[in-house]
Every structure is written in structure tokens, then in C-alpha cells.
Amino acid sequence: MSIGNYTTTEIMTIAASRLLKNGAVCFVGIGLPSAAANLARLTHAPDIVLIYESGPIGAKPDVLPLSIGDGNLAERADTVVSTPEIFRYWLQGGRVDVGFLGAAQIDRFANINTTVIGDYKKPTTRLPGAGGAPEIASCAKEVVLVLKQSARAFVKKLDFLTSVGHLDGGDARKKLGLPGKGPVAVVTDLCLMEPDSVTRELTVTQLHPGVSREQVQKATGWEIRFASSVQQTAVPAEDELSVLRDLLHRTAIAHGQAPAA
């Protein structure tokens, strides 16, 4: 859907990219997280260190990868190490500032499901699975989630808990002994949510331009909370849009999804 001169997917990707700081070490998931992380690298965060599960450190792909095993990730990376080293030394060693993940389902405490829709033994849909997401969600210093918002994705109860967010709220993560802070933001095509400082329940703190509270509630499977002062997301700047669109166009050509100019 388009709003003004940009789409809802574009503002979601741009809003997520803005959360990444220059110089941060970021463990990146495939899909929307990869698009947002590489947009940050190509705009305001040129010194961000992008890590992918397959071993590239300091990845600088010219086009977005098809999967974590895409050789394009290794071609311009600072180095490539083994997957065990990525997890043990970097992630479990506390050297990852931000874990950037997507999800198929999410609940009010930012726990996520990427395993199955429906009953585990006889699911209606089998999803890609956990991969490294449980470890990223547990061990990264902070986690940012990005996904499109609908009542099918934002649910009261997950069909399967793949990766922990804030469990059942409060100090549940601390009691479990998890080292990372967990999700600090959820970015959707409608808004930005952050966990309440006490309950850890997701709370809308920003609405994207043209989006109403009613739209957000309709796209959420529980009674969503709004902050006392909800801000409006800054509209995408021209350079953000042009860099993102160029990246996506190059990617489409490279993957045979668009003809070369």
C-alpha cells in the first residue's frame, strides 16, 4: 500500500534501519531485517558490523542475500569464520549489540514463533524454523523485531514459542538468567512498539504517518496499549528512499526477478 510517495513496507524498513547505530555489531536475520540493516549501512551507519549466521563478519553485500548461505555475503565481508565461532565467541560471548529478527507470529510480550502455524504434530503451515533465532533472542544485548502487522501475526497466544522475548512479562527474563535485554522495539508497517518499562508488555510509542489507533487495534489480536504520548514516525527522507529502492532494484536484477536496464 502506498502513502504519499512511499509504501508502508518502505516506511517500516526505513523506521527499523534508523534504530541501528553506527559502529554497532548487528546479528542479522534474512528478509526484512537484512533489508533494514543494509539500508542503515548504506546511509547513516557506514561502520556498522553486520554478522550473519553462516559466518560472515562485517558483511557488505551489494545485493540482499537469498539466504544465510548466500555466497554474496562472504565476498566483501571483513572475514568469514565458522558458525560455532559466530555463536560461541560473538553471540554467547556478549559481543553482539543488536539482534535483528523477523517472525511469523508475535505475542504481547514479544515472544516469537517461526516454527509452525497450528498444532505442532499436524500443522496447517510449517515455517522455516528456529535457526539461530532462539540464541540471538537470548544472548544479544538488545533485539529489534520487524514484521508486517495483522491479527494473524499479532496473536494472544503463539501456536509455538520459538524464541523468547519477555516471556510472561515483568522480570521473567532475569529470573531465567538470560543475558540479553530482549526485544527493545517492534517495527511494523503501521507503528513502532516498545515494551513497558515495568510490565514489558508491548506499547505503541509511534504511529506511522496516516495510521490511526483504530487501524493498529484492528491488526492486533489483543487489546493493544498506547503510550501516554504517541509520536508520529518521521516521513522517509529522499535519500533513504532512493538508497532503499536502488538496493531492492539491484537485488531483483541479481536474483532474476527484474530485467537488467
**Active-site residue set:** 53
C-alpha 207: how far from chain center: 17
Cα–Cα distance between 34 and 62 in angstroms, integer? 12
Q: Of 220, 159, 161, whose CA–CA distance to 188 is shortest?
A: 220
Question: Do 60 and 77 meet the contact criterion of CB atoms below 8 Å apart?
Answer: yes
149 closest CA partner among 213, 100, 98: 213
Buried b (16+ CB within 10 A) or exposed e, 29-57: bbbbbbbbbbbbbbbebeebbbbbbbbbb
Q: Which of 15, 37, 87 is nearest to 247 (CA)?
A: 37
DSSP H helices in 177-237: 213-218
> Distance between CA 28 and CA 41 in Å, rounded?
12
CA 51, 100, 1: angle at the middle one, nearest 5? 125
Amino acid identity of 245?
Answer: R
